[in-house]
Amino acid sequence: MATIHFSRILFNRSPHIVKSAKYFPSSIKFYSVQASNYEFIKVEKSGEKKNVGIITLNRPKALNALCNKLMNEINDAVSKFDNDENVGAIILTGNERAFAAGADIKEMMNNTFASNIRENFLEHWNGIAKAKKPTIAAVNGYALGGGCEIAMMCDIIYAGDKAKFGQPEIAIGTIPGAGGTQRLTRAIGKSKAMELVLTGNQITADEAEKIGLISKVVPADQLLNEAIKLGEKISSHSQLIVSIAKESVNKAYETTLQEGLSYERRMFQATFSTKDQKEGMSAFVEKRAPKFTKE
């Protein structure tokens, strides 16, 4: 099997080599230049062209429970990758045991209705969903409550074969607050969503794939590699057209079919005003690879 070299450049302050490759298959060698002031996440660029941004949740002792600081760090990192023109796709991942076990129960348990209203609590979780660039959740281990919800904020979910998904809020006296009653229902339909939300039961990666919550299950140790390959494939296309395609798919959630079809057609027509459409179609006719310029 070919050895893949990933040169991983992190938001760079004081470079030093990081050797750990716990979640990478042995066929992958990678080199990290470590950096960043983040406390609960790690950020890096991967792929042969370093065009895939990776955000790794790194609060293992709390199973990556999503405290406010962690969510603010994710928002910051997503926004930086979204504005980095060399990055064509963004991966959100955790560790083998947990993608994320939900909102931080200890941090929020003494919130009051008044304080939630005052701060519009959980509104600051929306950063992932606001990204213009495609986002990929690579889920190993638990994706529960808010963990499942931030995975669903991503455009595509891949999972390792030991992953577990669920909305267990009901068991702790609350309900999902960041999309677990909305995105989940749109993804898997009313009956399944009701069952998950009302029981708090967990489902396996295979079940999640079967009901359409996620698009692929792979062996846990190959998950990140598969997600990176997906990110590289997406990044090989015109970033401009990719963002139009993403926006058009998302319209399907927000409009009637007729409005959505009309929006799609107009966006399709608009792509003909771009250099990348001319380049893409010329390259096809001339039987060569396209060189996209994002214009």
Kindly list the residues in this chain that would bind ligand CAA in the complex (CB under 6 A): 62-63, 65, 101-106, 122, 142, 144-146, 149, 168-169, 172, 176-178, 180
Q: For residue 146, indicate whether it is catalytic.
A: yes
CB of 6 to ligand CAA, least distance (A): 30
Contact 35, 11 (CB under 8 A): yes
Active-site entry in 145, 146, 147, 180? 146
Burial of 4 (0-12, 13-18, 19+ CB in 10 A): middle
CB of 71 to ligand CAA, least distance (A): 10
* Nearest CB to ligand CAA, comparing residues 66 and 90: 66
* Nearest CB to ligand CAA, comparing residues 134 and 145: 145
| Residues across the chain | 295
User: What CA–CA distance (Å, rounded) separates 165 from 180?
Assistant: 11
CB of 98 to ligand CAA, least distance (A): 7
* Nearest CB to ligand CAA, comparing residues 184 and 217: 184
Active-site entry in 65, 98, 101, 103? 103
Measured at the alpha carbon of residue 292, what is the angle toward residues 287 and 295, in degrees to the nearest 5? Answer: 135
Location of structure tokens 């003494």: 110
* Nearest CB to ligand CAA, comparing residues 52 and 55: 55
Residues 6+ apart with CB under 8 A from 163: 99, 139, 140, 141, 142, 143, 204, 205, 208, 217, 220
Describe the strand order of the beta sheet including 41-46 as a list of residue ranges. Answer: 17-18, 28-33, 4-9, 41-46, 52-57, 89-93, 135-139, 156-160, 216-218
Q: For residue 47, indicate whether it is catalytic.
A: no
Residue 158 DSSP label: E
Q: For residue 103, indicate whether it is catalytic.
A: yes
CB of 108 to ligand CAA, least distance (A): 8
CB of 41 to ligand CAA, least distance (A): 16
Q: For residue 169, indicate whether it is catalytic.
A: yes
Is the dihedral angle over the CA atoms 283, 284, 287, 288 positive or is it negative? positive
User: What CA–CA distance (Å, rounded) separates 231 from 257?
Assistant: 29
* Nearest CB to ligand CAA, comparing residues 53 and 168: 168
The catalytic site residues sit at: 103, 146, 149, 169
